[in-house]
Amino acid sequence: MDESEFLASYDPRAFPPVAVTVDVVALTIREGALHVLLVRRGEQPHAGRWALPGGFIRPAEDLAEAAVRELAEETGLTPRVHIEQLASYGAPDRDPRMRIVSVSYLAFAPHLPDPRAGSDAADAAWHRADRLPELAFDHGRILGEGLERARAKLEYTPLATTFVGETFTISELRGVYETVWSVPLHAGNFHRKILSVPGFVESTGETTESGGARGGPRAKLYRAGDARLLHPALLRPAREEEVR
Amino acid sequence: MDESEFLASYDPRAFPPVAVTVDVVALTIREGALHVLLVRRGEQPHAGRWALPGGFIRPAEDLAEAAVRELAEETGLTPRVHIEQLASYGAPDRDPRMRIVSVSYLAFAPHLPDPRAGSDAADAAWHRADRLPELAFDHGRILGEGLERARAKLEYTPLATTFVGETFTISELRGVYETVWSVPLHAGNFHRKILSVPGFVESTGETTESGGARGGPRAKLYRAGDARLLHPALLRPAREEEVR
DNA sequence: ACAATAGTGTCTTTGAGACAATATGGA
DNA sequence: TCCATATTGTCTCAAAGACACTATTGT
């Protein structure tokens, strides 16, 4: 039997049924705090509970496409978001309906608008990452791993620039790091450090229109540079506890 | 309709059929070179071609369990291997049979034996990572990403100790780094660096029975320490090309 | 005037890496 | 003996972080 004969006789329904979903951990910063997008489930199971936006993949669609589509469908958010794969979860009992394997994605974007509820979701809203409700399925774990991934990626990629606007000040960038890492950073040292990493930011030659809300000089404006990796990296303050 | 009524009326077959497989990138070092475990496919499609060991997940089995089982079944390898999830691949046309989403795993182990062919595989063998044949499906890409992940993890985790025996010398450890990274490292600096990372290795108080094959003093023996992350990390020599 | 902030200067400490030196044991 | 290797020492440079200082702007 050659390959074409084999394929003609092949019955896909012979395998036990499995479904594949994508779930998205979408992050943004609003009002100085890290926020996660959650939807309130409108259908069983776990109806009424908060969950990550997501859903079943469609036949001719790649995984990342499905993640972008679900984000748009359930929340009305359609900006060009950075999206990257996080991990997959397939414990046999993670969904009571049937065997479901979920591929999770991480999405970042600057000052996103309030979402509108879409078809599957009764409600969609940004939640502060430090004050989260109990989530449906194993979404609490997925979200936790997404947050940790985002924190880690700030260290060695220019990810932070995707949380700010087209142009930004070094202080705004510092705000992103402080918010996501939940640590205060030294303004002077941070400033010098950012400018010393080749390709992280490039000057626009402009400055802000006015000083800060509580005074101070006008800050220079920068835009994201062409670096894809930061070298040397910006390491988080040592976390001895996490090492062993 | 409450949740139990909903589940009773739920028909899993209503969704388009998808299958989930696991594929394993198993790495070891033999004869001073990094090797990858490949199996020759015994069935259609791609019969006769080399591929990563793997296969369909079973109903009551978690993803990581499936990866370990497939590795054992197809190759006869059953040692306690480190295994960790790599990524998932779900392009609609990646398998001609049907829609298949593959979750890939990375496995490491020290001086593994020659595999024996299992049920699904006509043949199984270790291949040098720098001389690979063309692989079935998108396994070439998966393997490439697995190798890069392994190289990166050597930097900030004690992964290298899983490639050597229970006890080892600093030189053996250096050999792992040199092999996986394909770069020569300075013996003296490497030695001091390893001993300066808290919890990476701990002394056994013993030394090797005899000096090296071509002479030299007996080296002290170490075992893996309790660190889960290396701090400070062992960074690869700067790769300017990869930064932009 | 006062306070807050942007940006720069300086110093200390740590760590990476180049290079040298010493000691040991196999062939 | 000769040579490869293990281990330690020394020096230089890069970078992180603490701290101080100046300049600018809003209130």
Tokens of B98: 């049907």
Give B-chain residues touching A231 at CB under 8 angstroms. 238, 243
Instruction: Please give the pLDDT value at position B110.
Output: 80
Concatenated DSSP letters of A124-184: EEEEETTSPPPBSTTHHHHHHHHHHHHHHHHHHSGGGGGGS-SEE-HHHHHHHHHHHHT--
- Calculate the average pLDDT of chain B: 88
Give B-chain residues touching A56 at CB under 8 angstroms. 15
Whether residue B101 sits in one domain with residue B32: yes
The Cα A37–Cα A129 span in angstroms is 9
Higher pLDDT, B116 or B185: B185
Q: What is the CATH number of the domain that holds A122?
A: 3.90.79.10
> Which among A111, A159, A126 has a CA at the least distance from the CA of A52?
A126
- Calculate the average pLDDT of chain A: 88
In strand C, the nucleotides that come within 7 Å of a protein beta carbon are 2-10, 14-21, 23-27
Instruction: Please give the pLDDT value at position B216.
Output: 84
Whether residue B165 sits in one domain with residue B120: no
- Strand C proximity: list residues 50-89 of B with CB under 7 Å: none
The domain in which residue B115 lies consists of 16-149
- Contact by Cβ (8 Å): A108, A27: yes
For residue B11, tell me if it sits in a domain: no
User: Would you place residue A104 in the very low, low, confident or very high pLDDT band (cuts 50, 70, 90)?
Assistant: very high
State the total domains in chain A.
2
Q: Which of A99, A118, A149 is the last residue of a domain?
A: A149
For residue B198, tell me if it sits in a domain: yes
User: Would you place residue B15 in the very low, low, confident or very high pLDDT band (cuts 50, 70, 90)?
Assistant: low
Across A19-33, B13-27, B155-169, least confident range: B13-27
Q: Which residues, 6+ apart, have CB-to-CB distance to A194 below 8 Å?
A: A170, A173, A174, A200, A201, A234
Whether residue B125 sits in one domain with residue B106: yes
- Residues B12, A17: C-beta atoms closer than 8 Å: yes
Tell me which protein residue sits closest to nucleotide D20, measuring alpha carbon to C1'. A188
- Strand C proximity: list residues 147-206 of A with CB under 7 Å: 169-171, 187-189, 191-192, 195
- Residues A90, B228: C-beta atoms closer than 8 Å: no
The Cα A171–Cα A168 span in angstroms is 8
Whether residue A238 sits in one domain with residue A207: yes
Whether B239 sits with its Cβ under 7 A from any strand C atom: the answer reads no
For residue B1, tell me if it sits in a domain: no
Across A206-220, B105-119, B158-172, B195-209, least confident range: B105-119
pLDDT at B244 over 80: no
The burial of B65, by beta-carbon neighbours within 10 Å (0-12 exposed, 13-18 middle, 19 or more buried), is given as middle
Whether A214 sits with its Cβ under 7 A from any strand C atom: the answer reads yes
pLDDT at B133 over 70: yes
Average pLDDT over residues A116-125: 66
Whether B183 sits with its Cβ under 7 A from any strand C atom: the answer reads no
Return the DSSP state at B18: B
Give B-chain residues touching A21 at CB under 8 angstroms. none
Instruction: Please give the pLDDT value at position B14.
Output: 56
Give A-chain residues touching B3 at CB under 8 angstroms. 44-47, 96
Whether residue A116 sits in one domain with residue A134: yes
Whether residue B20 sits in one domain with residue B133: yes
Q: What is the CATH number of the domain that holds A223?
A: 1.10.10.10
Whether residue A123 sits in one domain with residue A104: yes
Query: CA A186, C1' D18: Å apart?
Result: 10
**Backbone dihedral region for residue B216 (phi beyond 0: left; psi -120 to 50: alpha; all else: beta):** left
In strand D, the nucleotides that come within 7 Å of a protein beta carbon are 2-9, 14-21, 23-27
Whether residue B120 sits in one domain with residue B49: yes
Whether residue A161 sits in one domain with residue A145: no
Whether residue B61 sits in one domain with residue B138: yes
Whether residue B169 sits in one domain with residue B58: no
pLDDT in tens, A174-219: 999 999 999 999 999 999 999 999 999 999 999 999 877 788 899 9
Whether A32 sits with its Cβ under 7 A from any strand C atom: the answer reads no
Of A70-84, B40-54, B167-181, the range with the highest mean pLDDT is B167-181
For residue A95, tell me if it sits in a domain: yes
Whether A186 sits with its Cβ under 7 A from any strand D atom: the answer reads yes
